[in-house]
Structure 1
Amino acid sequence: MADRGGRGAGGVRAGAGLAGGAAVDLLGGRRLRGGFPHGVLPHGQAGLPRGRPDGGPEAHRPAGGHLRPRLRPAIRATHAGPRDRSQLRRGVDTAVSRQTQGAVLLVLGATLLSISAFSTTYLNYVRPGFRPLIVGAGAVLAALGLLSVVADMLGRPRAHDHGSRVAWLLAAPVFALVLVAPPALGAFAARRDDGSPARSRTAAHDALARSGVTELTLGEFIGRAYAPSSPTLAGRKVRLIGFAVPGEGGRGWYLTRMQVRCCAADALALEVAVHGAPAPAEDSWVAVTGTWVPWPDGVPDEYAVPDLTATEVSGIEQPTEPYE
């Protein structure tokens, strides 16, 4: 284009109010203010309006903290190179992209469904009554994740299609359940339990058969052992199921089962001391048939582990419901 009025495409000629008549490249990092060239501040800095005591402008300082958070990425994007801009448009960042968030939600929902709707793995962590809630939560998470992924694939890419780095924490339960799914609580947890099961001295219990073997839970066996005079257990053969926990110093062993009210976090160990049979391998599930050993001095005031004289001990598979 022809030069008009003595002004070129990239500078200003002498006589335009510039000192010394020198041409100034307007694209070279300077600008005109009041007819004189002034340096352009680096990106992210600004001269704040408040002045110094001598009347001069306040020293320049970074202005990033004075910008609204939503403006900062936009300003950075305008000064980014072509490659940086393409990365911003695609949401490439150390933060989680929206598409990745949707994929994590989808996998998390599918994992919950796999351990509750298609298997009984969830029973290692919660009571059976929580199954509908887990299935529902898994279905909702999977649906939300699928919708998020589809919407992101069909939608128009934007410069801010990324979320917080904290969203990566959503992947933690997925890795825990898929890679290292924890088993049901066993001997390790039982040894560290310092609580005692609730017992009632007034609870009524039905009489047990005088002949044959009656299968009881450990909780019911302990409750009957603490009943007044314990008449329902005396001389009766019972069958109990649990896992083996060696005694301290290798002295004896305990038939143990964890009792939960809600989930594994509130589990309480129920124990019965077994006599007359060698100790099975630690954490192995066994069925023990035997008779209760009466209290030597009557029902104790403080909690004590009841005793059982075993007549038969047989190994079994872990029950589908490992907790009482």
Structure 2
Amino acid sequence: PAVTQPAAAQQIEKPDLTLAIGGRVALYYLPLNIADLNGYFAEEGLNVDVVDFQGGSKSVQAVVGGSADVLTSAFEHMIVLKAKNQDFTAITLMGQYPGFVLSVTPELAKDWKGMESLRGKNVGVTSPGSSTNKMVDLLLLGAGMEPSDVSIIGVGAGPGTLAAFRNGSVEAAVQADPAATLFEKEGLAVPVVDTRTPEGTEQVYGGPMPAATLSVPTAFVKANPNTTQALASAMVKALKFINESTPEEIVDVLPEDMLVGGDRALYIEMLEKVKPAFSPDGVIPEAAVETAYRAQKSYNPAVAEAGEMDLGSVYTNRFVEHANGS
């Protein structure tokens, strides 16, 4: 008789997937790395190839262009894409706070007078147009300045960020951990705005702000509902693992090359700080979606001019709720 596949694998419409991510080493994307490294995608019958790009805007282009199937990015890209008539659906929330930190050199920090102190300065972000760049824009606009009042420099999310401060090519940067903590530890820069906490998130975004999400083009959800469910189920397993494990147990999963700076003890310390930022269940809160929309409307003319947006179309909790057994 013919060899039959297990039932679950038969139902997966598209088992081989390419996933685009912008700056894989950032702790911002830890849940995705855990899902991959702990074999949760494989357990769900998927073979996922993770492709790393310099920043969020680059990984979005890969999925829009069709060279990747699945996107791991900041939630706000969903809204920007929708405004351009590109329909994407976020299916799992990884981070409840953005976790981005604006850090400035010790010299700038001494006389810090808010964003005015950055006028004419070079500010490092992962890549131009990415969420780290958007946070700079939002802070500038909030201070009555223009995004053009600073020069934006793309420095990635890894060791290049440290080099940019060391060689003086930037005087400030918006980065997630591990970069943000490493700047401080090495005396390169001091945090002045910190969205690793609910308070800092409120200060910058005016409400809860969804951070990293897993998303797919809306047409993909319709064509591949079982594959979409498998992706969400693997991510919920990863979030539960993070929620239920000690920082030491989490670090044990990561290979050497993901520990930027190579310092295990420092990584554990960082994880203790950022652990509360990860969603416990992957559910995307409606209030957070509304905050993301308001933020985009304020600094993104394309979104402001797109008119009323049906926010219910850019995310769904159906798959994570099923994965959580509700």
TM-score normalised by L of structure 1: 0.18
* Bigger relative contact order (CA 8 A; separation at least 6): 2
Which one has a larger percent helix, Structure 1 or Structure 2?
2
In terms of Rg, which structure is larger?
1
